[in-house]
A and B are shown apart, each in its own frame.
Chain A
């Protein structure tokens, strides 16, 4: 692995009930995620994905570099922008910025329908040389 390499692209389409499962798993029951009526009343197109669910997809895409080893991901920082929706494909892509001391720094983006829903994500992953 070296500077400029791409990480394997991750594509995932969260189904209609994903925000409910993620709410139960994470404990975040904010109604904007699980109640379509409430969400539209506060100006959203429908109930929206949890940002931290999308961040978990970014984490997964980077951990894939180490075959999903949960020890490999050392740091991840993201900016949440735009909103993620269920029933639409999310694509996570990343490019290696540098490799140093057995760690790769990877610039990562999560896109959905042409919108960057996570941008400026930076991951540090332990890699085998």
Chain B
């Protein structure tokens, strides 16, 4: 039986990307390419401004996924929840000065081996309407 909230969409979440956040994130993950730190390096590599590493997608899109995970209508037991798997498909690079809007949908729900899978899809676009990333977030709840 399908979950009654399957297909539910959550309100768009907007994130303004700035150089200092890109630098902080890049430093934390150990990304060393100067295009993540210096405007000149980024511009000479063909970017509008300091560019984010691909996995920076979590910084600007997680705020869109959280309301789904926390939605009482879905009833996810957070104490028993694990982040089971993750996929990102990247499009246009994200640079300092961009405004990224992310919309999340409750995409799939299934039970398997006594565990319940909740799948969310997030789609992020920049201020010009170009898709920057599409994320598939799979959370697993042990014991249903």
Residues of chain A touching chain B, judged by Cβ–Cβ distance below 8 Å, are 12, 18, 21-22, 24-28, 51-53, 55-57, 59-60, 63, 67-71, 73-80
Contact = CB atoms under 8 A, between A and B. Distances in A.
A122 B48 CA distance: 29
A57 B86 contact: no
Contact of B93 (A51, A71, A79): A71
A3 B31 CA distance: 27
Contact of B55 (A18, A28, A52, A75): A52
A91 B52 CA distance: 24
Contact of B85 (A18, A67, A69, A78): A78
B33 A70 contact: yes
Interface string B3-42: 0000000000000000001001101111111011000000
B82 interface: yes
Contacts of A51: 83, 86
B58 interface: yes
Main SS class of interface, B = mixed
Contact of B28 (A18, A67, A69, A70): A18
A25 B82 contact: no
B54 A79 contact: no
A70 B36 contact: yes
A18 B33 CA distance: 19
Interface of B: 21, 24-25, 27-33, 35-36, 45, 51-55, 58-59, 62-63, 82-90, 93, 136
Given A52-B55, A55-B55, 16 more contacts: A18-B28, A22-B28, A25-B28, A26-B28, A27-B62, A53-B29, A56-B31, A59-B53, A59-B55, A63-B53, A69-B33, A74-B90, A75-B89, A77-B85, A78-B86, A80-B83
B79 to A, nearest CB: 8
Contact of B25 (A26, A57, A68): A26
A28 B62 contact: yes
B27 A56 contact: no
Contacts of A73: 54, 90
14 contacts: A18-B28, A24-B24, A25-B27, A25-B28, A25-B29, A56-B53, A60-B31, A70-B51, A70-B52, A73-B90, A74-B89, A75-B90, A76-B87, A77-B88
